[in-house]
Homo-oligomer: A and B are copies of this chain.
């Protein structure tokens, strides 16, 4: 079997690649298992150097990679240039987070009275299966957040390449392999496999200790079910597409045109192929939000080109499903004629249609959004309470003080992992305070994030050592704190020495 690479702009074939065989998948996992203890035992600063070497190699080959990525994704060079730079930055950032050492959670209770000596530290889980996403061929793919944070946390990684950019995936895998070899990392630290069956084999491989995924609900839940059927069940950290609500407060009505333009910019960005795309706006009755958004969409006149033929077809069926569920199209830009083109559209629906089980509550991947008017705050709160969990929610407020703002933030914070205020959710900074995850079904593990410093926490588990002599402890738990990490000693938090 082979994976075919297409150019979404033209629909023409770029080339094809062989899928990994079951034996190749198992061999990759076996090599990861063999080096897992060695990788776990390296100092975080060593892993930071490995990740920095990969970042350097990525930047050195940027031109070729961006050209290849554009030919497979149609996302355009400017976007891909920025995304590659971001990806190199992420690789270095997760290395820095590892070296800072708080993620190790070193906690020491000295023996006293009836209590024994205890030292608790986070240890790596072992080999992680990473599923690349289609929509960020650099930042959430072969060398994206999941790979970088898993390696930073001390875990070998086996990546399953996304079939929407197989040639780029192969090139990224080759670059990583060569940079890691040159940096002295063990050969089993990183491997790439491809093909649908390879993904299934990977999740079922006994040596895999965790699964990281970014993509659709259907894909993420299928992997989660598969992992739950293993003899040794392993955690699945699936970040899944959701509807990402937006609330416009009454105080923001005076700047509805500006907000409408921003909304269109955000939900059509990257042809609407963001898992943080704002998909559902709640606007005050009488705000004219739907007309304003429809007008802004006409002005912006986007020309969405989707990552795959399947996604392009799904935009059309998604639009039909939204209409069948009670929405009406208020503005549409018809699809172009070539390749994987799709329409962009805004729809309106009465608030009563925002009810559990309705298709209106689910993501429509692509440049499609819904606008709903609310009569008062009570009605708004009830509707927000009926939403699925989402990755992000946004509030747009008056320029100055706005009584309703804090309450709208409170409503959204019960349903999402990130609340943006007068700011669109499609930008996801990688930094210490980021949260890219949310209540079920936005993530299969509601406390997890796949972006930001806490992304490492997914790939470790605590071990406590009781009454052990200092020299028998793993280095990080020893009294001389050889890696100079923050610790909690006898209940007192201590910053790094």
Contact = CB atoms under 8 A, between A and B. Distances in A.
A301 interface: no
Top-7 shortest CB links A-B: A435-B464, A118-B433, A423-B467, A120-B433, A420-B466, A421-B468, A107-B433
B107 A432 contact: yes
A429 interface: yes
Given A118-B429, A419-B464, 7 more contacts: A109-B431, A109-B432, A116-B423, A235-B447, A421-B467, A421-B472, A454-B462
Nearest to A464: B435
A467 B422 contact: yes
B419 A463 contact: yes
Given A421-B467, A467-B421, A494-B495, A234 B447 contact: no
Contacts of A431: 109, 115, 118, 491
A232 B440 contact: yes
A429 B228 contact: no
Contact of A464 (B114, B234, B418, B445): B418
Interface in A394-413: 405-406, 409-410, 413
Interface string A254-275: 0000000000000000000000
A461 interface: yes
A409 B464 CA distance: 11
A447 B460 contact: yes
Interface in A415-459: 416-423, 425, 427, 429, 431-435, 437, 439-441, 444-447, 449, 452-454, 457
A416 B463 contact: yes
9 contacts: A107-B432, A108-B433, A116-B420, A232-B389, A409-B465, A417-B462, A418-B463, A419-B463, A432-B490
A189 interface: no
A230 to B, nearest CB: 9
A233 interface: yes
Interface string A147-160: 00000000000000
A232 B453 CA distance: 27
Nearest to A458: B447
Contact of A465 (B105, B419, B427): B419
Contact of A472 (B234, B405, B467): B405
Contacts of A488: 102, 432-433
Interface string A476-497: 0000000000101011011110
A462 B257 CA distance: 33
A235 B427 CA distance: 29
A457 B457 CA distance: 12
A167 to B, nearest CB: 30
A60 to B, nearest CB: 23
Contacts of A105: 454
A119 interface: yes
A226 B48 CA distance: 41
Given A433-B109, A446-B461, A494-B495, A440 B234 contact: yes
Contacts of A422: 467
A417 B461 contact: yes
Given A433-B107, A440-B233, A102 B461 contact: no
A378 interface: no
A464 to B, nearest CB: 4
A452 B125 CA distance: 21
A102 B492 CA distance: 10
Given A116-B427, A446-B125, A446-B235, A417 B491 contact: no
A472 B444 CA distance: 29
A432 B109 CA distance: 7
A248 interface: no
A51 interface: no
A417 B467 contact: no
A123 interface: yes
A124 to B, nearest CB: 10
